[in-house]
Structure 1
Amino acid sequence: MKHASFIAVEGPIGAGKTTLTTMLAAELGLPVIKEIVEENPFLGKFYQNMDDWSFQLEMFFLCNRYKQLEDTVLEYIDKGKAVISDYHIYKNLIFGERTLKGTKRDKYREIYHVLTDDLPKPNIILYIRADLDTLLTRIAKRGRSFEAEMDNAYLQQLIEDYDSAMASLAVTEPNTVILAIDGNQFDFVENPQHFAEIASQVKELLT
């Protein structure tokens, strides 16, 4: 590798981000950064009542991801080592803009920028895009109890929000390569050839 790369795997809930990240980390011999999800104590309450628990939920995620990426700078990026993560810190704005309202959203935006503006940004994003039926199938398969409460309309809106966010990042972060993966057609878990194609494309970007 000519330089240290920071790879982020992104996509809406159920896209397979962590699975693909883990597989690629093993294939490429890279350290992996995984976001904390189930450890968030507000998740179950959030899916039952989004308005009451959205700020607590989003702040927990933001602070934990900030800490993870701050450590990543010290441990990997600043030492010239490539690393792969199953999220981009920008996802906090994707979710925050959707779940927060009024002054809480304004406060969250301010805190987000204070914490993240000087963090390293991925120079490679693997964006797994899938339609609602595909995401629902994968969510049901992994069987997280708190996700059973999720509104399908919320998930559909996230799909659209992610499309908009990736289009925005393509403009605001022009040095970042965004590799789109069709999650409806590519089953990188069950089909080794599909995974091999994705891994091959990533290897090309790293050379």
Structure 2
Amino acid sequence: MSHADDISRRLVAIEGPIGVGKTAFASKLAQHLGASTLLDNTESNPFLSRFYSDPKSLALQTQLFFLFERIRQLEGLQQNDLFTGNTICDFLIDKDQLFAHVVLDEDELKIYQQVFSHLKFKAPTADLVVVLQAPAEVLFERINQRGIEQEQNISLEYLQQLNDAYTQFFHHYQSSPLLMVNASDIDPVNNDDHFFELLEYMKTIHSGRHYYNPNPTL
């Protein structure tokens, strides 16, 4: 696609809980902008499917694997790439500790925080963060509909905990311009009208915190 549609950002992060559609939206946005992608590689995590079945016994292994993998991916993002073209990613390393607080017990969290504090890593700052939101019941339905086997053991209670943690985390987030999107009733991946309306709103964000709460006619 033409770079005439560029939203003049070097690094855009799409965030949100599982089931909200952040990876699919990030991929479509990157394709439209002619940008590169940096996507959370969940399939490479050997603990994830077992974690969904038995969260208590595999939480620490799952979380540490994600931490190291995300850092590896971000280290592969060369500084020059941020100035030669847009990059769209579907995760923030900043919020890695959000999951840690949800899934780890007190002793595991201490271990995780010790590891995190000793890592010599400085993540690039996103020029725009877009957070897709939806109620836990909507996430639960979407997860069931897409039918990925390893996700079928995810509970509604876990999704509610994630939503609460996201709300708390981004309530205090100030590192980048932030756009909170109510994605309950829109489908920017499969509905082009929804996609371009959201894109046009994103183009207006240059600083501060903003909310996008559409009421589409489906």
AA aligned to 1:198 is: L
Amino acid of the residue matched to residue 27 of structure 2? T
Q: Secondary structure at the match of 2:126?
A: coil
TM-score by length of 2: 0.84
Number of aligned positions between the proteins: 201
Go from structure 1 to structure 2 and tell me whether the alpha carbon gap of 1:186 and 1:4 turns closer, same or farther (over 3 Å shift).
Answer: closer
Partner of 1:179: 179
Matched, 1:125 2:129: yes
Residue identity over aligned pairs, in percent, reads 29
What residue identity is the alignment partner of 1:134? Answer: V
Corresponding residue for residue 214 of structure 2? none
Corresponding residue to 1:81 among 74, 81, 85: 85
Q: How does 1:108-147 map onto structure 2 within 5 Å?
A: 108-115=112-119, 118-147=122-151
CA displacement at 1:195 relative to structure 2: 0.5
**Which of the pair is proportionally richer in helix?**
1
Which amino acid in structure 1 is aligned with residue 191 of structure 2?
N
**Structure 1: how far apart are the matches of 2:91 and 2:7?**
23
CA contact (8 A) 1:131 1:184 kept: yes
- Partners of 2:146 and 2:161 lie apart in 1 by 21
Are the equivalent residues in 2 in contact too, given 1:27–1:199 (CA < 8 A)?
A: no
After TM superposition, the score normalised by the length of structure 1 is: 0.89
Match of 1:94 in 2: 98
Please show how residues 20-35 of structure 1 align to structure 2 within 5 Å.
20-35=25-40
Q: Displacement of 1:123 after TM fit?
A: 2.3
Query: What is the root-mean-square deviation in Å for CA atoms of aligned residues?
Result: 2.0
Following superposition, the deviation at residue 85 of structure 1 comes to 0.1
* 2:17 is the counterpart of 1:8: no
Looking at structure 2, the residues matched to 91 and 153 of structure 1 have their Cα atoms a distance apart, in angstroms, of: 20
- For each residue in 1:101-143, what CA deviation from the matched residue of structure 2 results, as whole angstroms up to 9, or x when unmatched? 2232112123224437511121211100001221112111221
Report the Cα distance in structure 2 between the residues aligned to 1:148 and 1:75, rounded to whole angstroms.
Answer: 40
1:91 corresponds to which letter in structure 2?
Answer: K
**Which residue identity lines up with residue 37 of structure 1 in the other structure?**
T
Cα drift, residue 192 of structure 1: 1.4
Rounded Cα–Cα distance in structure 1 between residues aligned with 2:7 and 2:41:
31
Within 5 Å, which residues of 2 pair with 1:49-68?
49-68=54-73
Higher relative contact order (CA 8 A, sep 6+): 1
**Aligned-partner residue type, residue 192 of structure 1:** D
Distance 2:69 2:47 in 1: 13
